[in-house]
Amino acid sequence: MQRNTKIILSVIVGVFLLMMLALGGVVWYVARNAEGWVDRGEKLMAEGREAGESMDSVGCVDRAVADYRKDRGTFSALGRRFWLNGCLDTAERNIAICPTIEAEGTIGQVREIMGASSQFCEKHGLRADQNCQQLAEEVIDFCFKPGQG
């Protein structure tokens, strides 16, 4: 085997081993912390359900967005989504938060729903915030959940 071929193979094997080591570290970290994350999610949903008993769905969304504005970021958005899920579950239903979908056919409806997510973030002054999509998706899920009008 030529010297250049050996060097290239060594580099490829080294990169592969580093990737496997990194993946192992991620798996170890997730396995070690998963239970706490699940407990935190359940706690946030319970808090949301409790808050939802005294407000309507518009109030749930307004509070979730306000709380998210105070602490932005991926994990904050995820936490606010869990809270919003619980809140919307017990809140008085108000369809003012739901977009109207007028397109016929699956592709048109999907396009309108994606547009509704963007409009949600823009309406709340979070247009450039990618994590806002977490909250928008929870609202869309709530509005188009089977069995909901």
Q: What is the pTM of this model?
A: 0.71
Q: Does some domain include residue 58?
A: yes
Q: Does some domain include residue 126?
A: yes
Q: Can you name the residues that pair with 56 across neighbouring β-strands?
A: 92
| Residue 68 to residue 83: CA distance in whole angstroms | 11
Q: Does some domain include residue 7?
A: no
Q: Domain range for residue 52?
A: 36-143
Q: Does some domain include residue 1?
A: no
Q: Does some domain include residue 45?
A: yes
- The structural domain count of the chain equals 1
Tell me the per-residue pLDDT of 83-116, one tens digit each, with 9 for 90 and over.
999 999 998 888 888 877 776 777 777 788 788 8
Mean pLDDT computed over 135-145: 86
Tokens, residue 85: 């899920």
Question: Backbone dihedral region of 104: left (phi > 0), alpha (psi from -120 to 50 degrees) or beta?
Answer: beta
Q: Does some domain include residue 85?
A: yes
Q: Is residue 146 over pLDDT 70?
A: no
Say which residue, 129 or 8, is predicted with more confidence: 8
Number of C-beta neighbours around residue 19 at 10 A: 10
